[in-house]
Structure 1
């Protein structure tokens, strides 16, 4: 598998993870915490952290950290699960960027809306360094930053069109969104809608339930998003028998 494909596979795992393990350190002592990441359009993990937590205090003193996310095991052996360990530097998100990136984080974690604006919570970002992708048992690949991150031009093109894409899909193709969510992504019946889109896929939500649609390949423009959604809707309807 080419290095770009490995980067895409790693990003899909990161973007699809509802939870992960954050590794920090305090005076040389390693520490691990459960966190709930989301991914910025450019591939940087986002974390909503409380100032009262140990890992936040440790990140302020030592920003070097690692984030581990895992997929579904192929068998009863947990070692068959695909997983990614990403290393990088953590930093608070600048105030000007918070509204858009917090909305992005809440699209993945809508249940957190009840506390996301509490005064002790702040949005953090991990600036990626490199990653280790383990595709399963004894299948490990180191991924350089240039291969891990999506193409900046493609990120910008999708971000510029994202609001229009989401509005159009939800207004005119709600049936397709429901077919993708229930037929392809095993979501329960409900009022599904698209809540975010990026070069690697889209997030669909119904209330507090969220499903991640991973594209088959990174897209470069809105036309690529349309192609992926048409494919996914067709497959979802086929599985539903409609």
Structure 2
């Protein structure tokens, strides 16, 4: 089925990737190849790929180490009939994070899953990133679409300076600009007032979280460094204050 004229499947899928904090992970049983499904917590890489922190004692991790092919189901967790909400099924490879990328991945995962601080340094736990080969989006009648990785993920080319500045920018927003984040959430995204925190920034937007609630603030223009990010956040704060 093809999307209707008012439906942007790539935008919805990217938002779901960024906002999801839990998902159903399907792996292949080592030896038999039978499907195995488990519930996992997750966060998102700057490019949108799902990040997992999983133990080698867990069956799903042992399955991944034997065969890295996985699928991951994410949904909106909408009230009422869950089948009326949007959901995506990603298929891809689960790759263990290299030492060079561990600090970035660790920071983003703990921002989204702060309770993991209690076990993140346990020797049996490791970070994995799911590299999607594609996704199947179901968002209602006439809104069933297959998506490519290019439609799902954020292009990080030319954004090295932004990734280097991200940790400091997130800390600065959370320490000094909670009022601005509440404005983004309430006036730009229509959410309820809460103690909104920034959990990550990337060239296309900012991720916000208050308890179990998550939001995606999409930037009107791409940013690629800390200066552009600061200017964008000031601009959006001004737009939020001007909106009644």
* Residue 132 in structure 1 maps to residue 144 in structure 2: no
* Residue 71 in structure 1 maps to residue 60 in structure 2: no
SS across alignment from 2:157:
helix
Q: Deviations over 1:116-144 (max 9, x none)?
A: 11122111111111111112245211011
User: When the two structures are aligned, how many residues end up with a matched partner?
Assistant: 233
Counterparts of 1:228 and 1:142, CA distance in 2: 33
Deviation at 1:196, TM superposition (A): 1.8
Point out where structure 1 has 5 or more consecutive residues left out of the alignment.
none
Counterparts of 2:140 and 2:186, CA distance in 1: 27
Partner of residue 116 from structure 1, selected from 116, 120, 139: 120
Counterparts of 1:203 and 1:106, CA distance in 2: 13
Q: CA RMSD in A?
A: 3.0
Tell me what 1:62 maps to. 67
Task: State which drifts further: 208-217 or 108-117.
Answer: 208-217
Deviation at 1:92, TM superposition (A): 1.1
Tell me what 2:191 maps to. 185
CA contact (8 A) 2:49 2:130 kept: yes
Q: Which has the higher helix share?
A: 1
Deviation at 1:224, TM superposition (A): 6.4
Which TM-score applies when normalising by structure 2? 0.80
Which TM-score applies when normalising by structure 1? 0.81
Deviation at 1:193, TM superposition (A): 4.0
CA contact (8 A) 1:170 1:193 kept: yes
Q: Deviations over 1:63-112 (max 9, x none)?
A: 10101100144x73322111111110112111222122111111111121
**Change beyond 3 A, Cα 1:203–1:25:** same
Alignment of 1:138-153 (within 5 A): 138-153=142-157
Partner of residue 25 from structure 2, selected from 11, 22, 34: 22
Moved over 6 A (4+): none
**Change beyond 3 A, Cα 1:234–1:87:** same
Point out where structure 2 has 5 or more consecutive residues left out of the alignment.
none
SS across alignment from 1:186:
coil
